[in-house]
Amino acid sequence: MSDRHDVTSLSCHVDVLPQRASVGDVVFSFEQLEVYQAARAFRKRVYALAKLLPDDERYRLRIQMRKAALSLTNAISEGQGRHTYKDKRHYCHEARGSLQELVDDVNDCIDNNYAKDEHLQNLRGDAFRVLQLIDGWARWLAKQDAKKAATKAKSRNDLTT
């Protein structure tokens, strides 16, 4: 018998799964996070700015900005999918790095007059708000991790006394 699975044999297992909810009804835990929602809105604004960049920036700044903006929200969502507070915090730091990169990209747009200064300054303000949320989320995760460690230590002490 072959180690490979026959795709047709998998169909019988799918039939026993519950009815799938419509796409609009499915909500993942990361989508409920205020930090994710703010980062997602910020990403959309960065994408809009990237569309305004001149053609000579198509393969440099435009692509770089889109990648960093997607990395921002990807890191938040991936972190939320991790099991330990330490892992979740690591991805907060990844998101923070992507956000800082985007602020530098916005600075490049300011330096080169790629958009109205007031719009770019407003985008920097949005970036600061997202940064505050990321930092707050990371602090909360650190506190939860410390509480868990303290509870674990107390349980060990209770067992030894």
Instruction: Report pLDDT for 157.
Output: 77
- Residue 2 structure tokens: 């072959």
Instruction: Report pLDDT for 21.
Output: 56
Instruction: Report pLDDT for 161.
Output: 67
Number of separate helices (H) and strands (E) present in the chain: 5, 0
Taken in order of first residue, the domains within the chain and their CATH numbers are 41-149 (1.20.1440.60)
Residue 46 to residue 33: CA distance in whole angstroms: 20
Q: What are phi and psi of 155, to 5 degrees?
A: -65, -40
Instruction: Report pLDDT for 7.
Output: 43
> pLDDT under 50 in the chain at which residues?
1-17
Distances (CA, A) of 153 to 139, 143, 144, 160: 21, 15, 14, 11
The residue whose two tokens read 């060990």 is 156
| Contact predicate 64/98, CB 8 Å | no
pLDDT digits (tens, 9 = 90+) for 67-99: 999 999 999 999 999 999 999 999 999 999 999
